[in-house]
A and B are shown apart, each in its own frame.
Chain A
Amino acid sequence: MSRSSRREFVQRVGLAALFSPFMSLVKTAPASAAALGKAKYLLVFYTNGTDPAAWTPAGSTADRLVFSAMTEPLAPLRPNLVLVEKLSSMGTADNHAAPGGLTGQGYSGQTRISIDQFIADRLRSAGVVTPIPSLILGSVRTEQQNSFYRDNQPLSPIFSPVAAYDAIFGAVGGVSPNLLRRRKSSLDLVRGELGQLSGQLGSQERRKMELHVESIRAVEKRLASGGGAACAAGTRPPEASQDLLASAAHVDLAVTAFACDITRVASIQFGHHQNTQVSLAEVGNPGNWHNDFIHGDNPRTRLTNLERWLALQFVAAANKLKSLPAPTGGGTLFDQTLMVWARDMGDAVAHNGNDMRFVFSGGAGGFLVTSPNGRYVDGGGQAHQRALTTCAAAMGVTDFAGFGDVNVSRTPLDVIGK
């Protein structure tokens, strides 16, 4: 439901209906998803690179996937699954902590913006306004949060599921007129004080105050629009016992945010290129993803097990998307979502981005080219940037000015989507 139509809806049924926790789950009959040709929601999984030899689904073809041990848990998604390999980062994602994975630009890039932020901006420009422009969740509390970018500045994900829940659903539903009034008055006051401080600062320092004011304006806009539809926000999750489990909880929150139409773009980072401690029974003995699994074990049993666990999280997200109607209409959320699993690097063992790989899934509004037995795409060394712009194209964004490396093709890969 767009913001304007929600307003009309509120006017018609009154505020009380908005406070019903299941309001957003009551939807009209879906339109034909395939007819739309574009996705309404983008769910990004972002993880470390892997060992290509162990991951590659050897023997797969353009109309049939033959799964490796690492990819086998993805099998239930087969009719909506496209695995892409052998794309080149063109030198932008040749190592842990390289920024190219989602930006297409390397260390020397001057205009880095990650594809999720680029798409969210373009959606806003096109009038698709949701209470939160985009979500970046997960990762590990440590140095070098350089997966997501805006204004050439790395953006830190929200680490804590509790904080994420509060940020996403804190303004949703049940807000009394008194509290709303207090919130607005408080923010007015806070903004006034920020102006006082800002006036004493040089331009470089003032930028910090400006970011704060922009953040407050976003809250104000949200308050003005009613904070997002009241919907089944679920319960506030507990803090997770380890980072990967926190990321799994974040996926749940992101999908619920989609169901409430609070945002259209959500990214969840699993782990961090260096500092991910893994202690999961499914994986084996505890260890560090980077030190022990990627660069320590041989054979890579724990890396394989971890990849399988991640694949299961991807499938779980798909299943949750399938269980919820799309607030925009057009079937379930799965029907309207492009799911993409991207990575910071291609071959994490050998430190290169010559073999970038993606997993695409979701109904994506009918955008993805699919096959009943799944599809495998050999990228043939083309720029992985093209897979990123494919995500944009799937969301109806076709002007790529301002994204990626201008010296590298930004044309979407039509072999992936329509």
Chain B
Amino acid sequence: MSAWRSAAVAVAALVAVAGCREQLATPGRCPTLCPAGNVQLADTVLTAADVADTSVRGYVLVREASYLLASTLDSLQSVVLLRFNKLDTAWYPGTDTALVGRQDSVVLSLHVSQRDTTVKQLLLLIYRLPGLLDTASTYASIRPYFADSQLVDTIAVSDTIKGGDSISVRIADSLVIPAADSGYVSLGIAIAAAGKTAFTIGSGNSGTVSPGLTFFVEAQPPLDTLRHSFPLSPYVGFFVMSPPPAQPPPGLLTLGGIPTARALLHLSLPSVVVDSNAVVRATLLLNTTGPVGGFAGDSFYVIAQPVVRDFGVKSVLWPDSSVSGLVKVGQGQGGVVAVDIAPVLRFWGTTVGDSTPRLLMLRAYPEGSIIGEARFFGRAAGANGPQLRVTYVKPYTFGVP
């Protein structure tokens, strides 16, 4: 072995000794072998944190919702309006052209989103509407078409049908399409039941299954032995309500519903709350004005997200979902709803978050997929308004040396 190789081995031995590292944990004894400082926590409620608040409706519109709502509730009456795509006048088997002749049957398919299973004997009332349905229709303007003379069929929904099930029913032998309707068929859906209730079906938005209308037809002679089906999806589907949607009442924080509402909450916080990572828990306490709305047994989330650019109702939200507060609320829930927003306060203490407004957007999740709505007292309600409960660590004393 050369001299320098021997030296290299020696160096390797030295490095090997240095390479062994660190084994944790042995029992100690306080106070003798413990640090002098103690982590001490304090808890306080900031009653005047909310310095400005407002609610605005219209973030998810009726035509963007993932459901179509029919309702007979006292608080909300609604019917579904569907204008289907144009029915073709021919199809092309092989090299032939088969013109649509006699209709054999018409089948309506619906995908149930939600229903109140406690209300029995649910009926879907299918009405014929003008083919070129006016998309600006209102509940009042469309109501005359929901007359017995326009009734196409009545579908009895089994009490066992629940959200997620599909309904496919032959509603007519034929639906004659007047020339003036240019091949379009429009239908309206209302409901009736043993009690007042609501019923939603998929709209086709947000991955839901849209309603479908299938025409089963024969060809005109001489090809009248040929049969064909034309599945039509909605050209447009929406629902109209009474009372019509309106902006939330002032002084309240309103979330959810449709068109969906959100609330903006402008907070004023002491610097100690946002200038450090000392906050270990911060809970926004929201006092409900009444039971949370929605289907019986239904629930949704209340989310508090920080605003990074304050453009009023069009404010830009911080996209990181981990920087938010989240709590689940159920239909019928009242009292105080607590949303933990410590990650938001931590965000405001970062270099990025420091320049952002102390502004929270409160919204429901999933937006546009639930009919539930929650209302909370705003700051105008004084002691019943939003409060922020903060648990934080008092400055830790390390000591010197």
Q: Do A and B originate from a single complex?
A: no
Q: Which residues of B contact A (CB under 8 A)?
A: none
- On A, residues with C-beta under 8 Å from B are none
